[in-house]
Every structure is written in C-alpha cells, then in structure tokens.
Structure 1
C-alpha cells in the first residue's frame, strides 16, 4: 500500500495540481494586496470612500449585514477585473500552444504528402530521361 501511495504522489498530475494550488494561493495574496492597497484607495478618491458595511436590517434578534455582502460583491468584481487584465496581458506575451500545435500538424501533413509523392516524382523523372534518351533527331536520318 505504501508503494502505491508513493506511485500516486509521484504522478505528474498530483504534483502539477499541488504546484497549481500553491501558486494560486500566492497569486491570490498578490491580487488581494493589489486590490486592497492600490485599487480600492484609488476608487475611494473618486467615490468618496463609500463603505456599505454599516448597512444592516434586523428582523427580531437576527441581523442581516447586507452592506458587507455588497462590499464583498464589489471587491469580487474588482478582483475579477484585475485578474482578467492580468490574464489578457499574459496571453498577449505568451505564444499560444494551439497555434504551435497547428503549425506542427501542418508540417507533419506536408511532410507526409511530400514523402507520398516522392516515388511518383522519381518515376516521372526516370520516364522523362528514358524518353529523352530514346528520341532521335529526325534530321540525323
């Protein structure tokens, strides 16, 4: 059982997933910091630092803090937009794998076509050479 567990952990998928989670955590911290310390204060300059967290309504003893929920939605939208901009910028800088794979497929296909036509080309060249050698000049007769 220990050997199976070791094989499971050593699989590329598990390691890739672990790296993805760790990088995702670090990236989340960076994006949250960007939003909390740079973007939100900038927005606060323009809209006067509106904070909805004090908005509540009560039903009996229950408190519904819908203002905090609105703040969370606004933060989510800001974070989603920042991530969108980052991904868009990275996509412009990085070549797309699909395009590279498509080019590789086209090269392979053209190579296959060339290789398939090579015997026909060689046969046609031999036939042309044979005809040229067998032809005699009618003026020589």
Structure 2
C-alpha cells in the first residue's frame, strides 16, 4: 500500500496540482493586495471616498462593553456583532474577477505559445530532390513487381 501511495504522489499530475495550489495561494495574496491597495483606493477616489468595506447592515445589538465606532465594520465584527457585510462581499467579488481575468490571460497566452511551439515543431516539407528520389524508388518497385 505504501508503494502504491508513493507511485500516486509521484505522478506528474499530483505534483503539478500541489505546485499549482501553492502558487495559486501566493497569487491570491498578490491579487488581494492589488485590489485592496491599488484598485479600491482609486475607485474610492474617483467616486468621492467610496469605500466598499464600510458598507454593512448591523443585524444585532452592539454590546454594552463596545467602545469603538458604530460604523467600523472590522471592530464591530471583532466585537461579535452580527453583520451583513455586503461591501466586503463586493470587494471579494472584485478580487475574484481580477484573479479570473488574469488567469484567463495567462491561459490564453499559454495556448497561443503552445500552438506556436507546435507549429514550429511541425515536420517541414521534404525537399524536391527527396520527393523525386521517392518517386523513382516507387517506380522501380512497381516495374520489378510487374515483371
């Protein structure tokens, strides 16, 4: 059983998948930073301070011991207040769309590169003298076979 497991783990597909998951996790943090630190501030600036993360609906009471701002989503969430954070959902959706678009571009580029690579590796047409020699060979075979 151990040898079967080792053969399974050492397969190319499993190793490729493991590498893809690790790289995908790292790539997700880059995408999150791109969205949170670059895109969303620009969107907020364009729309006059529009910040998606501050949009939420409080679904329960604020505890008496809470001393923070009643409009601070992160602090309210940490305090255990039930919240409907649709602004955070919008941010996560934008993260996903950016990530999906970047992956689409990568796959598109990889497909084009593979097609170009396969086209370059396609066997070249035989030179005219090789074609002529094959025709002569075939003709000689036909004449010998006919006698």
User: Shared topology, TM-score over 0.5?
Assistant: yes
Deviation per residue, 1:42-72 (Å, 9 max, x gap): 21111123345544386xxxxxx89623542
2:9 corresponds in structure 1 to 9
Q: Is the 8 A contact 2:56 2:86 kept in 1?
A: no
Larger-gyration structure (1/2): 1
1:80 lines up with 2:108 in the alignment: no
2:78 corresponds in structure 1 to none
Q: How far off is 1:13 after superposition?
A: 0.7
Take 2:128 and 2:19, find their aligned partners in 1: how far apart are those partners? 42
2:38 corresponds in structure 1 to 38
Take 2:19 and 2:113, find their aligned partners in 1: how far apart are those partners? 21
Q: Is the 8 A contact 1:31 1:83 kept in 2?
A: no
| Paired residues, number | 116
2:120 corresponds in structure 1 to 103
Q: How far off is 1:99 after superposition?
A: 2.1
Q: Under a length normalisation based on structure 2, what TM-score does the superposition of the two structures give? A: 0.57
Q: Is the 8 A contact 2:56 2:87 kept in 1?
A: no
Q: Is the 8 A contact 2:8 2:14 kept in 1?
A: yes
User: Residues 72 and 120 of structure 1: is their aligned pair in 2 closer, same or farther, counting only changes over 3 Å?
Assistant: same
1:138 corresponds in structure 2 to none
User: Residues 68 and 47 of structure 1: is their aligned pair in 2 closer, same or farther, counting only changes over 3 Å?
Assistant: same
Q: Under a length normalisation based on structure 1, what TM-score does the superposition of the two structures give? A: 0.59
CA RMSD of aligned residues (A): 4.0
Relative contact order, higher structure (CA 8 A, sep 6+): 2
User: Residues 26 and 114 of structure 1: is their aligned pair in 2 closer, same or farther, counting only changes over 3 Å?
Assistant: farther
